[in-house]
Structures are given as structure tokens and as C-alpha cells.
Amino acid sequence: MKFLIPLAFVAATMGQTVWAGDADAGKAKSMPCSTCHGLNGMSTLNEAPNLAGQPLIYLIEQLRAYRSGKRQNEIMSIMAKPLSNGDIEDLAAWYSSIKVEVK
């Protein structure tokens, strides 16, 4: 019985990628993003989405899609182009870690 939970965990996570982004590093890298997405991920422009509280995997996938050209946006395609995988994971860790309160 002792091994049932660890084995179930291993089976459930096999084949999944683990991202190890650093939220503090992401916060430090997010200054260019803040022009449109706000200092704490709450958008300052109608055209820019809020990033605060978005799921980690969603943010990673979208930034990679902008970087590769799979997803197109005049500004985001330029902003994402120079980002490394580590930059993307750090930014995603930062924005996904922000708690959003609904009032």
C-alpha cells in the first residue's frame, strides 16, 4: 500500500514536461510587458489581456506561439521573438503566481 500513491503519481506525470520558471526572475523581466499588461498583470489597454492569475501552461504556450509565429499579433510577435525558453518560463511563473481577487 505504501507504494500505491508514489506509483500513481509517477504514472500520472509520465510524459509531462515540468517547467521550473522563477517568479522573481519573471517579475524582474516583466518591465517591458507592463506598458500594456500593467505592473501586476492587470491590463492598462483594452486590446491587451490581463495576465495575472492565468494558468502557467497557457502563458508558456501562448508566448511560444508568438515567438514561433504560430500566433500573430503585431506587438507580441516582436516582443516574444527574443525570449528564451527560460525567459518565457520565468514570465509565466510570475504572472501565474499573481493572485486575483474577484469583487
Mean pLDDT within 7-22:
56
Say whether pTM exceeds 0.85.
no
Q: Which residues of 35-62 are buried (b: 16+ CB within 10 A; e: fewer)?
A: ebbbebbeeeeeebebbbebebeebbeb
The number of domains in the chain is 1
Does residue 60 sit within a domain? yes
Cell of 22: 522563477
- For residue 67, give the CATH number of its domain: 1.10.760.10
Question: Residue 23 is part of which domain span?
Answer: 19-97
* Mean pLDDT on 71-97: 97
Is residue 41 situated within a structural domain? yes
The whole-number pLDDT of residue 18 equals 59
Pairwise pLDDT comparison (20 vs 41), residue with the higher score:
41
Q: Does residue 25 fall inside a structural domain? A: yes
Mean pLDDT, residues 57-62:
98
> Is residue 89 included in any domain, yes or no?
yes
Exposed, middle or buried: residue 91 (CB in 10 Å: 0-12, 13-18, 19+)? buried
pLDDT of residue 32: 96
Residue 7 located in a structural domain: no
Does any domain span residue 39? yes
Q: Is 62 inside any structural domain?
A: yes
Q: Is residue 91 part of a domain?
A: yes
